[in-house]
Amino acid sequence: MSETPHRRRGPVLRHGTTLSLVFGAVLLAGAATGGWGDVPPPAGPPASDALPVLTAGQDPAGAALSPQQAEGLIGASGDRWGAYYSAQEYAEFAQGLDGRYLGVGLSVGRGQDGVTAVSQVQPLGPAAEAGIAPGDRLLRVGQDQADHLPVTDVVARLRGLEGDRQVGSTVTLAVQRGDGQVREVALHRELLASQQVSVEHTDTGVVRITVRAFTNGVADQVRAAVRGARAGVVLDLRGNSGGLVEEAVGTASVFLDGGAVASYQERGARRELTAARGGDTRTPLVVLVDGGTMSAAELLTGALQDRCRAVVVGSRTFGKGTVQQSSRLADGSVLELTVGHYYTPSGRSPDGTGLTPDVPAPDGDGASALALRVLAGLGTQGRPG
């Protein structure tokens, strides 16, 4: 598990200065609706914990709600995707949407033997500079035995617990390589670039592009990777839980020459998201999906499927197609409430049902192999559609 933050949240479409629309469940959080300068001083919770009365469609921005009231409002509404975030949590998530995270640059996993080990080390990060390498055993994080903690708690301690999540804060690790000597290292947390796009070039000229989340700059990275494709592209969106909608639309623009990407509701009005002109409409394209493909990743998949631009291979997607509005409360915290749905170009809503692949495939390596076979077939027949 990477220390890059993964949390159920929605991809954000920045819209003006006051409204953020959230289209689903994602690892990151919404962008600020205003500047990230000084947070207004807490207004203080009302004397009563009674739930405030909000009329349908009313924006709670600026309301002086206690955390208990905000959580109660979500619970009373039955809003499955509603969420409350402190000002600090929201600021950290905004960093994530900008493609950054606070950490030391390593991922950890736990084998069947219960051993906690380093699985990846980010180049030039604090862990790499300290000589930590994949395969090293992680014995302690601070004073806590790593093997005695859930992996999620290990990751949380690497990133910093409450009051310790800041650039330059220190975490001490005990690591061991093989049967060698246990080594204690003190690492200083930094803001690091998250690695949401990976590119693999095959000997046959196929480019496989894996997108884990739609953070800032992802569309440009996909566009650059596609230029090296001679025989086709496999766009792997498995496990992609969403991100910034403008980045998903930008990625659609890589493969489309204008036209509809999706539509969504905003206060009863229907809005259109469209692709930019000039995308690559000729290179054969297969999109890989699974039950972890959510939100903005479903928006992109639905657009390429409805526009007959790609063949979708894999298993049914998650099914998250609701729209949330992000509202800054008086103390700088953020409340999100569901306000609508989004639709694919043909008018489908993936909410609750997901998207059905054109070619079903079981999860795992079999789906990847099948995607390559489908792509080979597209190459002999010309572009899809």
Which contiguous run of DSSP H or E holds residue 151?
Answer: helix 151-159
Which contiguous run of DSSP H or E holds residue 40?
Answer: none
Residue 228: inside a domain: yes
Provide the pLDDT for residue 127.
Answer: 94
Spell out the per-residue pLDDT of the chain, length 385, in tens.
Answer: 555 443 334 444 433 322 233 443 332 222 222 222 222 333 333 333 455 555 555 678 888 888 898 888 888 888 888 888 888 777 776 766 666 778 898 888 887 788 999 988 888 899 999 999 999 999 999 999 999 998 878 888 998 886 777 889 999 999 999 999 999 999 999 988 777 899 999 999 999 999 998 988 999 999 999 998 989 999 999 999 888 889 999 999 999 999 999 998 776 788 999 999 999 999 999 999 999 999 999 999 999 999 999 999 999 999 999 877 788 999 999 998 888 889 999 999 999 999 999 999 987 778 999 999 999 998 765 444 4
Q: Which of 193, 220, 241 is the last residue of a domain?
A: 193
Strands (E), 344-384: 359-360
User: Residue 255 sits in a domain of what CATH number?
Assistant: 3.90.226.10
Whether the Cβ atoms of residue 329 and residue 321 lie closer than 8 Å to each other:
no
Q: Which of 193, 208, 227 is the last residue of a domain?
A: 193
Whether the Cβ atoms of residue 8 and residue 80 lie closer than 8 Å to each other:
no
Instruction: Report how far residue 209's alpha carbon sits from residue 223's, in angstroms, rounded to the nearest whole number.
Output: 10
Residue 269: inside a domain: yes
Residue 277: inside a domain: yes
Q: Are residues 133 and 201 in the same domain?
A: no
Strands 83-85, 183-188: pairing is: unpaired
Q: Are residues 207 and 188 in the same domain?
A: no
Q: Which of 193, 208, 223 is the last residue of a domain?
A: 193
Residue 43: inside a domain: no
Q: Are residues 159 and 201 in the same domain?
A: no
Strands (E), 111-249: 116-121, 137-141, 144-145, 170-176, 183-188, 190-193, 197-201, 206-211, 232-236
Residue 365: inside a domain: yes
Q: Are residues 346 and 209 in the same domain?
A: yes
Provide the pLDDT for residue 1.
Answer: 59
Instruction: Report how far residue 10's alpha carbon sits from residue 351's, in angstroms, rounded to the nearest whole number.
Output: 13
User: Residue 174 sits in a domain of what CATH number?
Assistant: 2.30.42.10
Taking the CA atoms of residue 308, residue 309, residue 312 and residue 318 in that order, the dihedral angle to the nearest 10 degrees is: -90
- Number of domains comprising the chain: 2
Find tokens 């803001």 and name the residue. 191
Residue 36: inside a domain: no
Residue 370: inside a domain: yes
Token digits of residue 72: 């109660």
Q: Model-level pTM?
A: 0.71
Instruction: Write out the residue range of the structural domain in which residue 139 sits.
Output: 102-193
Q: Are residues 203 and 186 in the same domain?
A: no
Q: Are residues 363 and 298 in the same domain?
A: yes
Provide the pLDDT for residue 15.
Answer: 35
Q: Are residues 246 and 280 in the same domain?
A: yes
Q: Are residues 134 and 262 in the same domain?
A: no
Q: Are residues 131 and 278 in the same domain?
A: no
Q: Are residues 306 and 204 in the same domain?
A: yes
Residue 218: inside a domain: yes
3-state secondary structure of 383: coil
Q: Are residues 214 and 115 in the same domain?
A: no
Provide the pLDDT for residue 362.
Answer: 85
Q: Are residues 340 and 244 in the same domain?
A: yes
Provide the pLDDT for residue 23.
Answer: 42
Identify the sign of the CA torsion 293, 296, 297, 301.
positive
